[in-house]
Amino acid sequence: MTAALKPDMLQTRHRATLDRALEAIRTREFWSPHPEHPKAYGETAGADGKAAFEALLGGRFELDQPGTDGYTGPTETSPYGIELGVDYPHADPDVLLPAMRAAMPAWRDAGPETRALVCLEVLSRISARTHEFAHAVMHTSGQAFMMALQAGGPHAQDRGLEAVAYAYAEQTRVPGQASWSKPQGKRDPLELSKSFTAVPRGIGLVVGCNTFPTWNGYPGLFASLATGNAVLVKPHPRAVLPLAMTVKAAREVLTEAGFDPNLIALAAERPGEGLAKTLATRPEVRIIDYTGSTAFGDWLEANARQAQVYTEKAGVNTVVIDSTDDYAGMLGNLAFSLSLYSGQMCTTPQNLLISREGIATDAGHKAYDDVVSDLAAAVGKLLGDDARAAALLGALVNPGVKERLEAAPGLGEVALASRAVAHPEFSGATVRTPVIVKLDGAKPDAEAAYMSECFGPVAFAVAVDSTADAVELLRRTIREKGAMTVGGYTTSPEVEQQIETACLEEPAQLSLNLTGGVYVNQTAAFSDFHGSGGNPAANAALCDPAFVANRFRTVEVRRQA
Amino acid sequence: MTAALKPDMLQTRHRATLDRALEAIRTREFWSPHPEHPKAYGETAGADGKAAFEALLGGRFELDQPGTDGYTGPTETSPYGIELGVDYPHADPDVLLPAMRAAMPAWRDAGPETRALVCLEVLSRISARTHEFAHAVMHTSGQAFMMALQAGGPHAQDRGLEAVAYAYAEQTRVPGQASWSKPQGKRDPLELSKSFTAVPRGIGLVVGCNTFPTWNGYPGLFASLATGNAVLVKPHPRAVLPLAMTVKAAREVLTEAGFDPNLIALAAERPGEGLAKTLATRPEVRIIDYTGSTAFGDWLEANARQAQVYTEKAGVNTVVIDSTDDYAGMLGNLAFSLSLYSGQMCTTPQNLLISREGIATDAGHKAYDDVVSDLAAAVGKLLGDDARAAALLGALVNPGVKERLEAAPGLGEVALASRAVAHPEFSGATVRTPVIVKLDGAKPDAEAAYMSECFGPVAFAVAVDSTADAVELLRRTIREKGAMTVGGYTTSPEVEQQIETACLEEPAQLSLNLTGGVYVNQTAAFSDFHGSGGNPAANAALCDPAFVANRFRTVEVRRQA
């Protein structure tokens, strides 16, 4: 086979980037090869990306996959009100899965470095089309354009590259060959030559989510591919396009590099088909990456017993507000965290725990009611202008979020009411500001509210008896409900220690005293871990050695030397 | 607390050994700090060890553990016919498990290096008592003395040290602290200080086995302990003593090092209690290491859903015999493999696949019948002298093995009959030579025999149509039944390639053309992987990063800088 992408070309293009990524995951310093600024992609990138996206609408998305037995029909409606109308090929697993398995031996034999470099080429092709992906992510997730560009583009690409770096590192911990010589006293030593080969488990199934199709999809996708597995991508039916584009780009690169494109394929589903269940229990599927509801995550863990299952499920994120030396900074930081993408991030804080006795601040003592009303005012001010609000909030991703938002005032006293925001460009967009509801932490009916995930722009200001009470509630919330993030504000070293100990013991990822431009709901690849993998919100962290080390096995062949 | 074992003392004693182990797992070259030769332990070690072992017999094995609510009564009878009569404390989990959890924070805070060095001190104390452990392993497993000394002593200690090295390596892949500075164009950079802490999952439960209490128990025990977890050891009721001695030694070292001894505890059970099921589903138990039957391993995987479960279960090990340039060497090597510890190793070959058309050898063409009868003769010669036979075979570990051995002649034509061997020292020992049964691979009733694990000194010489047929059967056997080891004999590069490909694809660990002093059923820590973790015989390999990386989680705390 003549490959257009030759190994030396891949080396020249990407080996230095791989090495830099390997260094970054060791030092955890800031690094990214993927620019965040829209203008970094070139003069015409904005217009070109928009045109490329629009050209896809209302048409068939062709993928030259084996086993295509029809089309899904359009399943996506933009949260901004426009019809996407894209029609995806539908696959017969009985044809597609064997074709994917047949593609694997050559990919295995290519070795960890070539696999990593091919993955980096895929990521660089996607990076070059960041504007096009931004529109696709925006109109499936409801993220505002700038967030769709950054979180759906460079940040997702960073998480993909991070997974490739971990996969490469773990696969190369043993040498390819070793000589073994065991002394036998006066006799000749026993001598063996040994070879070690990283081998894939099988087909990795990626079950995508509605809110972050690329960001949550790329780590598992690239981790499985880089460790030699084939990858089948089953997108959320409302967020197919960004992953279909990803699959198509990857198939093109694989072909150019001389590999079988069936190492990656799309499994789009027809409305109501429930395809994930069918695929998840196929014997060929040996790895599953899933982001979504706890109910289906639990189902996968219980039923897909032939596979390694990595799940990110629901959680309840807490911020303990004990005291601060920057009251205005704290309010501004929290207001932004609650508003970004209408609170539709798995990392958005939900429960703000505040002592009934109030808190000490640089602006004097603030009663519980003061803190809540000042936070409400900060959110109100942040989102006072419709155009600015829409650019921060994005749109509600689906009707379920709107229903929860509308039901929230019934849960307690409303400290800040949600309001509808007119979108400057898309009249059909459902844009809402967050609601803040006051709850008494001691009341059982309030507990039913704050001890459940209320996914969307709903925050609970929970009055507790003391900070010690808050830390105890934090601990119980993580243990019983899980948490992707924990925040804390305190000027007391003792309280800081208590919060930190709770997070070490449960375990959960903690951000302390954020008052500037870093938010509890944002993590940076190569430096921050997303989730701990040690509480009910997720059984894996993005990205650590455990996330990749069991996606392959090492086969040793011993020969007498 | 005044600790007798101070950190600098542990550093001086063990840091160089830890570094050497870290190097060995990278290079996979031969290395071991634990001598195999009995005389290496000193002039009086043999007599001292025997006396120490005998002093334990017929008495109470005291462990100062919380929650002791009585004693188990003696549950162990030596396969050599002597009563051990040791009475172990029985624990109330409702008292013991909370005490173990309470011991964990200080162990977590001690960090990966101190934990590793304390584990190395435990191993060095055990190493110094290798002769005593040899008797304890011999009289619970039935291993012959020399094997009990080597496999139960230095080899088990090597596997424990290997697990400590992997645990240390994986916990130190991220720095303890990092500074993160993200450029913001003309504005000040965003700056965070970050700390990363390896935190334990909870209590690790080790469910021990009858045949290799220390060798199979130490990897999980030390991997969990070194990653900050507390470890509860539930030994097989017929092989308690070696693990009780291990727990006692570890508790002493932990105390001397200033830690709570309840970081490790014994959970011996009363006859018929079924304690493993009770413990395995306790919420405090977050990790389980199990070696034993497929039925109970499957039960654990299905029911202990709150825990990471590492299992080694039944398998069917195959040797493909295609051709050889050292016929005598091959026969001698196989005869030894079948005889060692009466075939009671999870790595012992069971199915020898030989073409009906015979094989090419340096001694000319050998028909299927010739190969089988020559192998039978080689085994017969190896075990011709009773004293030598007993020293190689050891004793049958339990009545189940004897029953299977006695039933084996009913499965096909007996090529080599088993015979009873008189043990020179222990008249009550049940010592048997292996039986070799000829089976026709094409016959369905034969398939029922060779496609099941027949644990013990039973080997099947399976006649197949061709080597291609053998490779296909090898593949199917690994996939459906699992395999800890695969052997192959061939002079053909094509056949070698076919066997290797089968092992890469299923996957399984392969030894090719062993004719000297290395046997398919023996692996060396730091260099060889035990199991692949990728077929039904075991879901983990001893020892690789995946075996340790998910026993802890990394908690990050971010602070605005």
- Report the pLDDT value the prediction gives residue A88, as an integer from 0 to 100: 98
Minimal C-alpha gap between B171 and chain A (Å)? 10
By C-alpha distance, which of A80, A65, A410, A112 is closest to A252? A65
Q: Is residue B307 predicted with pLDDT exceeding 80?
A: yes
Architecture of domain A7-49+61-172+200-314+543-553: 3-Layer(aba) Sandwich (3.40)
DSSP structural state of residue A175 = -
- For residue B36, which of B142, B168, B158, B122 has the smallest C-alpha distance? B158
Where do the domains of chain A lie? 7-49+61-172+200-314+543-553, 318-512
Confidence of residue B561 (pLDDT cuts 50, 70, 90): confident
Average pLDDT over residues A406-415: 97
Of A378, A362, A396, A384, the C-alpha closest to A211 is: A396
Spatial distance between the Cα atoms of A259 and A255, rounded to a whole number of angstroms? 5
Query: Rounded mean pLDDT of B204-218?
Result: 98
Mean pLDDT of A395-404: 96
pLDDT value of residue A533 = 97
Tell me the chain A residues in contact with residue B197 when contact means C-beta distances shorter than 8 Å: 504
Q: What is the 3-state secondary structure (H, E, C) of A373-434?
A: HHHHHHHHHHCCCHHHHHHHHCCCCCHHHHHHHHHHHHHCEEEECCCEECCCCCCCCCEECC
Query: 């500037």: which residue's tokens?
Result: A516
| B351-355 vs B458-464, strand pairing mode | parallel
CB contact (8 A) between residue B302 and residue A301? no
Q: Calculate the alpha carbon distances from B346 to A111, A179, B435 in Å.
A: 31, 25, 17
* Count of Cβ atoms closer than 10 Å to residue B175 Cβ: 14
Nearest CB to A553: which of B29, B517, B533? B533
Chain B residues with beta carbon closer than 8 angstroms to that of A105: 501, 505
Q: Is a pLDDT exceeding 70 seen at residue A314? A: yes
Smallest Cβ–Cβ distance between B513 and the set A504, A510, A559 belongs to A559
Q: Which residues of A297-306 are buried (b: 16+ CB within 10 A; e: fewer)?
A: beebbeebeb
Shared fold status for A7-49+61-172+200-314+543-553 and A318-512:
no
Q: What is the pLDDT of residues A462-517, one digit of tens each?
A: 999 999 999 999 999 999 999 999 999 999 999 999 999 999 999 999 999 999 99
A529/B27 Cα distance (integer angstroms): 30
Is the sign of the CA dihedral B285, A305, B500, B211 positive or negative? positive
* Res. B2 pLDDT band, cuts 50 70 90: low
Q: Residue B513: pLDDT above 60?
A: yes
Residue range B514-530: mean pLDDT, rounded: 97
pLDDT of A2 > 70? The answer is no
Residue B181: pLDDT band with limits 50, 70, 90:
very high
Cβ distance of A559 and B305 shorter than 8 Å: no
Model pLDDT, residue B226? 98
Residues of chain A contacting B28 with CB distance shorter than 8 Å: 174-175, 178, 180, 194, 196
- Which ipTM score applies to this complex? 0.97
Q: Which residues, other chains included, contact B211 with Cβ-Cβ below 8 Å and sequence gap of 6+?
A: B141, B142, B143, B239, B341, B344, B345, B346, B397
Q: How far apart are the first and last CA of chain B?
A: 35
Instruction: Verify whether the Cβ–Cβ distance B501 to A197 is below 8 Å.
Output: no
Q: Name B321's bridge partners.
A: B354, B489
Band of residue A561 on the pLDDT scale cut at 50, 70, 90:
confident
Q: Where does the pLDDT of residue B3 fall: very low under 50, low under 70, confident under 90, or very high at 90 and above?
A: confident
The pair of three-digit structure tokens given for residue B175, joined into one six-digit string: 């720095």
Residue B172 pLDDT class (50, 70, 90 cuts): very high
Contact between A560 and B516 using a beta-carbon 8 Å cutoff: yes
Task: Say whether B178 and A513 touch across the interface (CB within 8 A).
Answer: no
CA–CA min distance A443, chain B (Å): 27
Give kind and range of the element (H or E) at residue A447: helix A444-450
Residue B196 has pLDDT above 70, yes or no: yes
pLDDT tens digit string along B220-230?
A: 999 999 999 99
Q: Which helix (H) or strand (E) holds A70?
A: strand A68-71
SS3 of B230, please? strand
Which pLDDT belongs to residue B4?
87
Looking at residue A3, what is its pLDDT? 72
Amino acid at B471: V
Kindly report the average pLDDT of chain B as a whole number: 97
Cα-Cα-Cα-Cα torsion A102, A104, A106, A107, nearest 10 degrees, comes to 150
What integer is the mean pLDDT of A325-338? Answer: 98
Q: What is the rounded average pLDDT of the residues B328-346?
A: 98
Predicted confidence (pLDDT) per residue in A204-245, tens digit: 999 999 999 999 999 999 999 999 999 999 999 999 999 999
H-helix or E-strand spanning residue A146: helix A145-152
Tell me how far apart the terminal alpha carbons of chain A are, to the nearest angstrom.
Answer: 35
- Topology of domain A318-512 in CATH is Aldehyde Dehydrogenase; Chain A, domain 2 (3.40.309)
Measured CA distances, B453 to A157, A179, B301, B342, B401 (Å): 48, 33, 20, 15, 12
Task: Quote the pLDDT of residue A4.
Answer: 87
> What CATH number matches the domain at B24-76+85-174+202-313+542-554, 3.40.50.2300, 3.40.605.10, 1.20.58.390, 3.40.50.720?
3.40.605.10
